Amino acid sequence: MRLSQSLALLIALALPAFAQDGGEPGAPPALPGETVGAAASLPASLTSALRGSPLELALAPVSEDPIFSDAAVSVQVVNVRTGEEVYAWGDDKPLVPASTMKLLTTAAALRTLGPNYRFPTWIMQGGELGADGVLAGDLFIKGQGDPTMVVERMWRLAQDLKVRGLKEVKGDIVFDDGYFAGTTLIPGWDKEEDLESGPTYFATLGALSVNFNVATIVVRPGAGSGHAAIAEFDFPTPALVLENKIVTGSKSSRKWVKIERALDEETQKVTTFTLTGSVPDGSEADLYYRTLADPLGNYMGAMQAVFKQQGIKVKGQFRAGVAAKDATLFHRVESVSLAEIVATTSKHSNNFMAEQMLRSMGAERFGLPGTTENGLRVVADYLGSLGVPADQFRLVNGSGLSRDVMLRPSAINAVLLDMYRSPDLGPEYVTSLSVGGRDGTLWSRYREVGMAGRVRGKTGTLSGVHCLSGYVHAADDEVYAFTFLVNEIDGALSRARKAHDRLVLTVAGTTGNVADGTEAEAPRP
């Protein structure tokens, strides 16, 4: 797989990193011990209100939008410099935050692991490497949840081993993924359709993962109309099976492709993709992405392929196992920095990356193995350090792909304020958010004259749920943190988006005209 294809894969995986579940939206479940209308017990700086301020008066008409009366709405706007709440609606009611949950996960990861943390992959030798390049023993590959490993980097890893003198392994290649434990599925999401079809936003998890645990299927026309079309994996492994029933239609025919995903009944690991449909003769190739069931099996198969490409002979097997305690380090590869990974996670709302870093911070804080539960303990402890009581939120996973996650706007804003004010983490955190009109999930929004660079934020979307949280650089040169959660939306989600935009544009133009053509710098700590 070429580098350009990997980049395309990353973007393709990131863009659909939210779920539309198609179900009837219902009222969010109550939190334990919740008092309806009770505000979160936060520091006085967060709970004091500037009633009658120019901004509050300017924002008052925002609540006239019908979404405030026919949906569940909870809003808070806070001055970052003073910590004062300048606008609120909905009594700080906890709602489903969807992917705005990633604001908490990435902040906790930066606090726990540090912005310069890099996910390592360890290659250990279980015997002596002779001058002839033959390893008299096993070679162990031990993962620590690197969410950025792709086949190009895996090929480079094998090349590095070869450069270091490895030509042949007498024993086995043993893959140790014990750094993580628990289900490979993202907890908190059991939508039957997604379990069956494997959309990319529901990617599987593993300490040894490659290509985001997604299979890339390439489909293009065959020899001519009436002939079988060509369908193949971009990078095939034994964990993937393809059954192609697509035909090549006439040049004027309509393209349609249906992909059915099935798991091996006994092992639930080998993933079979059955393709039916028709592609027009002469049309360009298309790429289709689906989640695979067995991250470790796919990783082992990919590594076996790159070893073969590099000419490294293996006498034994490629198998799962545990690295021997007396094995010694032979080589180590690392991901890019956590700061860069956080930026990709936030800007493209990548669920896989969020969940991988959640389990990793759990392992680093509470010891092996890394689990979702321990990762959530880290996030909960972080919220507690900000004064957010444990009985006023519910956490299920790190990505927000769940209807059981419950957060108050004040809790999210507490994180935004903490990060913004941090001299060592603030720049990385603020930069990681999508810039209105420029990139990420906000690239198509806030392109009004005078709005360039004024908004950095994180969206969150499920069926019936649309949320937005972030920072706004106002015309009075103040920066405001805001969280606008909308649940139980009746009709198009664009109704909530319209209300979001009205609030943001109003905050941006508090003491000036946002359409005056001036351009402010992006919010910065």
pLDDT tens per residue across span 154-208: 999 999 999 999 999 999 999 999 999 999 999 999 999 998 899 999 999 999 9
pLDDT at 515: 39
Strand 139-143 relative to strand 286-291, pairing: unpaired
Segments making up each domain of the chain, as ranges: 21-116+338-508, 120-182+298-334, 192-291
What pLDDT shows up at residue 513?
41
Q: Averaged over 113-141, what is the pLDDT?
A: 98
Q: Which one-letter amino acid corresponds to residue 495? A: R
Q: For every residue of 83-105, which 3-state class applies, written as one string? A: CCEEEEECCCCCECCHHHHHHHH
Is the pLDDT score of 231 beyond 60?
yes
DSSP 8-state code for residue 322: -
Q: Is 317 a residue whose pLDDT tops 60? A: yes
pLDDT at 510: 55
Q: What does the pLDDT read at residue 227?
A: 97
Q: For domain 21-116+338-508, say whether CATH 3.40.710.10 is its number.
A: yes
| Cα–Cα dist 311/21, whole Å | 47
Give the pLDDT band (50/70/90) at residue 43: very low
Q: pTM for this structure?
A: 0.88
Determine how many CB atoms are found less than 10 A away from the CB of residue 311: 10
- Top CATH class of 120-182+298-334 equals alpha beta
pLDDT at 52: 59
Instruction: Write the Ramachandran bin of 91: left for phi over 0, alpha for psi from -120 to 50, otherwise beta.
Output: left
- pLDDT tens digits for range 379-414: 999 999 999 999 999 999 999 999 999 999 999 999
Per-residue pLDDT tens digits for 430-439? 999 999 999 9
What tens digit of pLDDT does each residue of 83-95 get? 999 999 999 999 9
